[in-house]
Every structure is written in C-alpha cells, then in structure tokens.
Chain A
C-alpha cells in the first residue's frame, strides 16, 4: 500500500532531471549583451495572399531592451524599452505604443531576453517550456502561461543546432504564423517561402 502511494511522488521526482537538463541546456545559449543576429522573417497571414518577407537585425541591448531593425523592403527600427515600443520609419515621426498592446513583442522580449541572458527561471515564469533534443539539433517549445497573451500567441517554437538558435516560429491563435530565420540561416530565405520549405530549412530535433 505504501509503495502505491509513493508512485506519484516517484514519477514527479523522475521529471526533475529532465527539467534541470532543460535548464542546463538553456544556460548554454547565454550571450553577453549587446547580442546581435541577422534575421529574415516570413509572415503567413490570413489577410494576405502570399507571405510577407522582411529582413534586418535583431539585437538584445541588455536588460529589457530589444531592438528590431528592418532593412528590407523598407527601413524601420522598432525599440522596446521600459514597456514602450517605439517605431521609427524613415521620413515619419516616431510612433509609440504600450508593450501591453503588442503581445507578439512581449513574447519575443520574454523569450529572447531569457534565452540570451541564460535565464531559465524567467523563461519558466512566462512559458511552459518543453525541450526535445537530438544529437545536434534541438527544439524548444514555449507556450505562454499568461491567458491574455495565450489568447493571441498560442506557441513559440525555436529550432537550433548546438548552441545556435536557427529558427523561431511564432504561432498566433488566429492561425497566422511568423517564421524567423536567424544567424547564418537568415541569408537562406527562399524566394517563395512556404511553411513546408521553411520547416525543412529549420530542421530541428527529430
């Protein structure tokens, strides 16, 4: 009888090494700020017939400050600092709005800063974290814990190899998807991206 009562405890205890494994892995992704990486993003949206592609550079400036610079097709810089998003376009006056109203960015900030800062506990606060690992390739799946954010962003999937994240895929609740190719992969955006050819490019854990 006593043994039976212990089974749930045992199974709980067994999950711990896995969690600490994920934590140890996340710590390996740590980079000192400022950390910059080129990106190319394809957005598949219901309002569009074909995906929208932009490219530029993502930078973590330390703390909760993030910069997303778009170079093509039109130059635009978006900065996140102190809960405010400021968008600056060439020849336009800057536009600001609250991070609260842009859940996409909030999620991006939480995941990016936690990963680059090597902070698994912050990642765990904001998301339900699942790690799948192959020999080289790995996949982190993040599901937002905040119900308000989950209403808009259903999941983030980050694929990588070694200590380099290569792809970030953000799934919105309405079916829209944004796929970012990061680092070396950023130059490999297909001329006509599809969900399938991008998935193949990203690879990820088997």
Chain B
C-alpha cells in the first residue's frame, strides 16, 4: 500500500474513533444504582428488597456526628447544620433532638386531638380539665413558663408536647443544650436523603452537600464531621475500589508497554496494535448508548475486563508474521483460526444476554460488539498500516530453547485423568461454603467504619438496615389499622427485650376509625364551655383566655379525619411517606426496627395477622436474589458451552480436533475452581465472570497450539504469541490479585490462575507432540 493511502486510512480510522468518542460523550449516561445490575425480582420479598435497597427509610439514613469543640459550640453547629439541611430539597428529613413545634403546621394543628392518644383514655370533662389547668398553673410558676405560656391559650392540655414525645425516636440520645449528644460528647444528627441509599453517585452528591453546608457554618473550622450509614459506605467502597483499581491499572499499563516493546521492538507496532482494542471498546460503548438509555458503571468495569481477550488479536498478527511476508498475507493465513476464536468468545458472551438481567444484557452487547469490532479491524484495517519490514519473532533469543524444553516434556496420554481426579477431590474436600452469597463480603468495609456505625446507630437508636416489619392492606387506611393493632404486640416484644425499639406508620397517623372514635369523645361547644367554666372556678386564668382552645376542639370535632394524602403535605409528612407506600393495587407499611435480638419472635407475630404482617430480612432476601442470579448465569453458561462445542466442532470439522481444543480449556477451568475452593475461597459472581474471561483466553491458546504445524519456525511464532499473551495477562491480572479489595482480588486471582493452567494444559495436551 502506498504511503499516502496508508496515512489516509489511518486518518479515517482515527476520525471514526473520534466520531464514536463524540457520540459517547453526548449520549453516555452512567448509572451507579446497584439495582439496575440485579436480576428482576420474582418473590414479593425480593421485590420489596429491590425497593428497599434504594427507597427504604433505613437505607436512606445518614448518621452524622460532630466533635472537636465545646458542647455549646457543637450544639450551635448541630442547629446550624440541621437548619441548612432542612431547607435543602436533597434531604427529606433532618433531626437533631431539637424538636420543632412548627413541624405540625398551623392548618393541621387542630388535628392534634385526633392524632394524640389522650382521648383514648380521658375525656375533656370538668375533672380532667381542672387537673390539667392546675398543672399548667404550676408550669407558669416554674422555669418552663416562657416555654409554655405561648401554647397555653390554644393547647392547655399540651397535646403538641405529647405528640412531640411520641414522634421522637424511642431510644433517643441524651439531650444537651437542646440537641442530641453521644456518650462521647459528639453532637448527633439523623439525616434522610431523598436519593436512593445504594446509589453511590447520588449519595456522594448528598454527602458533599452535607460537608459543604457544615464547612460554611461559622465556627466549623476546628470541629470534625463524622458520617456513617449505608449511603456513606457505598460511597467509601466505590472510592476505595476505584482508587486501587486505578493505581494497579497504571502500573500494569507501564508493564504492558515495556513487554510489547521488548517483544516486537517497534513503537509503531505498539501504537497501532492498541488501535483494535480501542476501537472495540469505543464501538461497544457507542452501541450500548444507542441500545440503552443508561449504562451501568459495573457493566463498563466488567466489560473492559472481558474485552482483554481482544488484545490477543493484534498480538497474534504481530507474532505470526514471517520475515518478508506482508501483514495482509499473514492475516489471511491466521483469519480462519482468529474467526473461530472470535465467534466462540461472542457465543460464550451471548450467555450473558440470555440471563435476562439488565446489567448483564448490557455487558453482552458491550463485549460482543467490542470483540467483533476489534476482530474486524485487526483483519481489515490493521494489516494495511503495519510496517512493511518487521523482525521475524521466530528468531527471538531463547525462544527456540524454550520450545525445545517444552517439546521434551513428557506428555502422557492419560494426563487428563489424574488432573481431573485431583480437581474433583479438591472440589469435594474443599473447606467452607461453595458459594459466596453475601454481596457485602466482596466489598468489606474497614473495621473502624463498621465500629463507628454500630456505635452511632446504638446511640441514636437508628433502625437496623437488615430488618423491616411489613404491614400490608388493600388501602392505606387498612395498613394503618393493622399497624395500630400491631403496636401493643410490638411494645410487649420490646418489654421482653426481643428488640430495642420500633416505629410504625400508625404512630404518625392513626387509622380513620381511631380518629373517628377520638372525634366522638370530643365535647360539643356547649358541653366544653360548661366543663371549662366550672374547671376554671377559683383559678387566676383570664376568663376568655381559652377561646383558641375551644375553637380547635370544635374544628377537630367536625373536620373530616386526616388522610395520609393530606398529612404527607406537612413537614412531618415525609416521615410517613417513607413508611407508607402504594404498590400496584395494594398498600404497604414499612415498620422500622432497631436492636433486633430475637427475629423469630418478631416474625412469629405474622401468624396472628393473617399474612398481613411479616418480618422482612433484607439480608436473606438479597442472598436468595444472588442465588437466583447465579443460577441464571450458570444455566446460560451451560447453554453457551453446548453452543461452543458445536461451533468449534463445525469450525474444525473434526470431533477429535475439537476435543484437543476443548478438553484442556475445560480441564483448566475446573482446575482453577478446584484450587480456589481448596484454598477456602467461596465463589462469587465475580469469580464466574473472571473464569469466563480466562476460558476465552484459554480457548485461544488451545486453538493455536492445536493448529501447530510441522514447521518449527511457525511453532516458535505460536509460542511467542502465546507467551506474550500469557505474560501480559499475568501482568494485568496478577497485579489485581494482590489488591486488598476482595472483588479485585477475585478477578485478578482467577484470571491469573486460569491463564497459567490454560497455558500449561494446552501445551501438554496439544496433539502434535504426541505424534512425535
């Protein structure tokens, strides 16, 4: 090809890549919500879990502690921060112990007689009112006078304070200077975000807002802000994983460049050799952005990992080129085999599409597009650009000696039998559980963060993230009614120390029936006037003082009972909105529990409420979801294996040859499984993905070794290409294997082991050597 045409082709290719880049820049929306990477839930508990993982009141809660200043300053900071967060729409609730009477707004104030339980046991007759007024007189002579005298004309029975008490978390921390303090002297706050709990992107934003609001407070300079909670953890884990993956990535990239330069001694080959993989990645992302409205972050991470196979294509082309042969001739010779490899990898990745999980479908689209693009550019574009004259790698010093060494190795025909036997034995006698069902074990949090969380959660009486009490009903009011009848039973369980505290929707809003019953006990104006007049006899209160009280009682007596829809509009309503949700044709109440010690006792409640009340264990539901997820992947893999078998057999037109390719690959895959299990590692989804990548690489090794001709120079080229591939894979994934983060370690270790086993077995089981 002429120099001008070459440059034109290169420019066209780069322009096409730039075009893809532009398309991606405009269309790519990366989602970080973990839920979109989960399979579609099937059981009711799993459905609830998926909602709860994001929307549940517990998972959206951030625990905040401020320390490092005097109590007085800390209290001022706590008040300042909560005032700012309450006016910020990113947060649905901020509480710091400073109960604000304004939380029940003026319009809803008369409803206090329907919301408070006072009228369940008392009635507003002469005796009750006289006793209350006597107490208020004592209050006026006490230091609390300034606090109460404003309330007195409208609320002589102090219903507002009773509601405040009822709505304050049961095990609230010590109050100092008007706000919550921990036993260590930190000011404490509870902040509920509007964003979903396990959406690290949105949580990161919310946390930044809290930090910014705190930093903007006067006097915040010396004080220190501590955050905890599921949302904070997801941000920490994300940042940790990313930073470790980043520095590992940088080191292995340098190693990879050095390796490529050493192998091919050409900067041009190095740079051009990178183009097919870059093309594959860009094409994959571009197609994803066209096919899906949002791309999941995990898809991208997994996708880049799996696309590692594509680096083999240019390496094969570079290594298999003979002296004096043009790159185009060389690629023509390689193509049938490369095409088999590409097609098999695509078929294997198709399994992900069949899994029916949103994130995995994306992964399939990404990797299949990427592999095809990388393969086709390696075939139809790269050869035209490579230098005319290259060094034949067959003459690389030491290569011949290595090949001879390998050829001299004994390769008994019966080798697969003992290897398989050892693998089976290791699998059977491996210690520990086979599968890792606990997703959180893969991204463990530093111990001190967990300890801080447990401590703050205990002090704040914040609800457990793990358990929820689910109350179901046909209407919101049914839910409230059932919730109400559960309340005394739950109080009994708290008394028996089965749990520390609970919160149910009916604590905020009683059912219509209860409100009507309380209404019925409110006296008519004449009766109230008579009782009040007689109660006031001999008391120093001004005679017309209680007109606002009489007005409110009459309002409450004649108003329609308060509905959830109306209540939700009040500042306190957000709390109820989080606890009372409509799902399809029925309603669900979410009771939060804290300090659950005896989950069975709580679960046993369900039997008495005809299936309308049950304990939801989010951990159990999530584990069942993971099991289902894995089952689907395994089924898909099984199908893929069958397809692969057929493809390879058809491509090689020989069952015997197909056996020589597939046997070492399968055996090596099981050997990796066996070694990891023997080391006591329970297997997770991430191990499975890594195994698939390793198998993809192993397929290449086996295909090329199987093809080995009698030409010793070509044998050496095959070995060269394979060694470059193996070393580069070991470089990248071996580094990951040292990571402190289990997810990265799982991928790194599995691929490294896989590459090593695939390499050894495909050499030892290659057919030609036995024919010698």
Contacts and interface: CB of A to CB of B under 8 A. Distances in A.
Contacts of B417: none
Given A47-B542, A50-B540, A83-B72, A99 B177 contact: yes
Nearest to A103: B146
Which of B72, B141, B145, B175 is most buried by chain A, counting CB atoms within 10 A of its CB? Answer: B141
Contacts of B141: 41, 43, 52, 54, 70, 73, 76
A105 interface: yes
A197 B442 CA distance: 80
A78 B142 contact: yes
Nearest to A89: B138
B138 A45 contact: no
B143 A78 contact: yes
Interface string A73-102: 110101010111101010000011111111
Interface in B125-159: 137-138, 140-147, 149, 152-153
Interface residues of B, number: 27
Contacts of A176: 149
A49 B541 contact: yes
A172 interface: yes
B338 interface: no
A130 B24 CA distance: 74
A41 B142 CA distance: 10
B161 to A, nearest CB: 9
A23 interface: no
Contacts of B542: 46-49
A47 B142 contact: no
Nearest to A172: B146
B140 A104 contact: no
A124 B147 CA distance: 26
A152 interface: yes
A68 interface: yes
Contact of B147 (A43, A80, A82, A97): A97
> Range of interface residues on chain A?
35 or more
A97 B177 CA distance: 8
Nearest to B174: A84
Contact of A83 (B71, B137, B149): B71
Contacts of A97: 144, 147, 175, 178
A68 B144 CA distance: 12
Contact of B540 (A49, A100, A104): A49
B331 interface: no
Interface string A90-126: 0000011111111111001000000000000000000
Contact of A85 (B72, B143, B540): B143
B176 interface: yes
Nearest to A48: B540
A45 B140 contact: yes
Nearest to B545: A47
7 smallest CB-CB distances across A and B, nearest first, come from: A98-B178, A54-B141, A100-B178, A83-B177, A105-B143, A48-B540, A50-B540
Given A98-B176, A102-B144, 13 more contacts: A41-B141, A46-B542, A47-B149, A70-B142, A82-B71, A83-B176, A83-B177, A83-B178, A87-B144, A95-B144, A98-B177, A103-B146, A104-B145
Interface of A: 41, 43, 45-52, 54, 68, 70, 73-74, 76, 78, 80, 82-85, 87, 89, 95-105, 108, 152, 172, 176
